[in-house]
Amino acid sequence: MMDYDLFVIGAGSGGVRASRIAASHGAKVAVAEEYRVGGTCVIRGCVPKKLLIYGAHFAEDLDDAAMFGWDVPEKRFDWAVLRDNVAAEVNRLEGLYGQTLGNHKVEIFHERATLVGPNEVKLASGKTVTADKILIATGARPFLPDLPGIEHAITSNEVFLLEELPKRVVIAGAGYIANEFAGIFNEFGSQVTVVNRSETILRGYDEQMRDRLLQISMAKGIQYRFNSTFERIEKQDDGSLKLVMKGCDDIIADAVMFATGRVPNVEGLGLEHAGVELGDKGQIKVDENSRTNVPNIFAVGDVTDRVQLTPVAIREGHAFADSQFGGNPWTVEYDAIPNAVFSHPPIAGVGLTEAQARNKLGSVKTFTSDFRAMKNVLAGRNERSLYKLVVDSSTDEVVGIHMIGPDAPEILQAAAIAVKARLKKADFDRTMALHPTMSEELVLMR
């Protein structure tokens, strides 16, 4: 007899969903979490980040209000107010996550757990428990390069706790996190410099969207240094940081934030005691059922480095629980996953980029709409949106939608259904426009 049917290590998006669903199928479940229930997304990722994005965007809204007749007194931003309100909301959500687990009779151990064998877990308190199945959902953490002075750098983990807003901030990397925080800091009034090792931002996104974001961001005052890397970080007597660079001039800043990818959390988990195999990036290797090479040990979410997105981890956790405890086996579909970068303005995309479609399908048609949102026109904000449909010429199927502009992620979620359902361009054309909206552009491109 085992102590539990399922023991989950890590109460983030994937672990919480798997625990709750397995328990609702009647399994006896325990979860161990050494930090805070909710994981990266809730505690120091998507959720607090999105609240900062909302906070940041007021900088533009307050400026734009004048043309709509509002007399706004001189705007002033208080970082501490937003930071503390966001922290309070995160606390509230953490409580709700804990409650959900409790309501489903999932036992929570607020401590670190390590594997001591394929069916055995040791808790930090010294207690050892056994479980029929073990799920590893320990997520990932920011990658930090090994360079002199790296201890002076921050990552997205620390950014939510900053005592003060840096006047000058350098962001290393030009992916999701870099572009989102470049926008946030810039709207709050910091001088932002983005430094990337290559010559591009947002590798993997549609080129036209990337170009548009770069152009708008530069117009907003964000600076870029491409093909550049950090040699060392020196703390100066006045508290500022000297960034000694290769590929560009040295930079003086008040903070440097590394956003150069995330690495799976596998260290010290005792995986070797159970014989769990890792891949070349240190990720836990799993099959389509999220099963590792050890038949009763599974892994979901960022620790498997499949697609590092919350909804993917949640679905992997759900599929695992239904399949192993609910008598309803299913697997996650990884095609047409919508994604977004919450930059200013945001980018969103689903399906193939134009370049990917040309490589994969050969004959491709694209349709674009390059327009200025009516709100921007009246506000005198010279910022153009760009929407693009990528269509397979031989079938007329819309295989990709890419957008940059206000509320692009909100619009794209609905449009992603059409790509997932493999609707044709003719279906878009037959759909009546909803006027006046930005999203009507999706059905008006000819």
Positions that interact with ligand NDP (CB under 6 A): 145, 173-178, 180, 196-198, 200, 203, 259-262, 308-309, 339-342
Give the nearer residue to ligand NDP in terms of CB position, either 5 or 180. Answer: 180
- Concerning whether 435 is annotated as a catalytic residue, the answer is yes
Which tokens go with 166? 């840096």
Give the nearer residue to ligand NDP in terms of CB position, either 15 or 142. Answer: 142
Residue 232: CB minimum distance to ligand NDP, A: 14
Residue 47: CB minimum distance to ligand NDP, A: 11
State how far the alpha carbon of 32 is from the alpha carbons of 54, 128, 157, 406, in Å.
33, 12, 21, 40
Give the CB-nearest residue to ligand NDP: 175
Give the nearer residue to ligand NDP in terms of CB position, either 290 or 308. Answer: 308
Residue 92: CB minimum distance to ligand NDP, A: 22
Residue 13: CB minimum distance to ligand NDP, A: 12
Give the nearer residue to ligand NDP in terms of CB position, either 324 or 339. Answer: 339
In sequence order, the 6+-apart residues with CB closer than 8 A to the CB of 328 are 322
Give the nearer residue to ligand NDP in terms of CB position, either 302 or 397. Answer: 302
Residue in the structure block whose two tokens are 């937003």: 82
Rounded CA-CA distance 231/252 in Å is 14
In sequence order, the 6+-apart residues with CB closer than 8 A to the CB of 417 are none
In sequence order, what E strands does 160-240 have? Answer: 168-172, 191-195, 223-225, 229-235
H-helix segments, 189-335: 207-219, 271-274, 310-325
Rounded CA-CA distance 296/121 in Å is 13
Give the nearer residue to ligand NDP in terms of CB position, either 203 or 430. Answer: 203
Q: Are strands 339-341 and 107-109 parallel, antiparallel or unpaired?
A: unpaired
Residue 355: CB minimum distance to ligand NDP, A: 15
Q: How many CB atoms lie within 10 A of CB 424?
A: 16
Which tokens go with 164? 């003060």
Q: Is the dihedral of CA 143, 181, 81, 237 positive or negative?
A: positive
CA angle 13, 316, 137 (to 5 degrees): 50
155 neighbors 258 (Cβ within 8 angstroms): yes
State how far the alpha carbon of 443 is from the alpha carbons of 186, 248, 375, 404, 429, in Å.
34, 45, 20, 16, 5
Q: What share of the chain is helix, strand, coil (3-state, %, to 5)?
A: 35, 25, 40
Residue 262: CB minimum distance to ligand NDP, A: 4
Catalytic residues, which ones?
Answer: 435
